[in-house]
Structure 1
């Protein structure tokens, strides 16, 4: 579901910020990349179509 992906992206962004504050830049970068990957995934229109479920698709 799109809401779950958005939530996970927010968790990754906040985790990256926390690692930055702890000067653990390696882990901060890892979580920043994960958040960016989810941002790209959310831009995919196919994901939105699939999240609608088969009952909402108009063929």
Structure 2
């Protein structure tokens, strides 16, 4: 059960960055290419990969 805490913390961080990305895009998919949105999207991608590694023990 030692992995539960880091996973929970990472899930909270994922949700925070996901909301930040959603707010930045403002419902306009074309904004995903905006220079201010791209770093947030990349951050979320890295967090997702980290989460998958932790969850699946990779």
TM-score, normalised to structure 1, is: 0.54
- RMSD over aligned CA atoms reads 1.9
- Count of residues in correspondence between the two structures: 40
| Structure 2 unaligned blocks of 5 or more | 22-39
Please, what TM-score do these two structures have when normalized by structure 2? 0.55
Rg comparison, structure with higher value: 1
Ranked by relative contact order (alpha carbons within 8 Å, sequence separation 6 or more), the top structure is 2
Query: Unpaired segments of 5 or more residues in structure 1?
Result: 43-59
The whole-number CA distance in structure 1 between the counterparts of 2:56 and 2:12 is 18
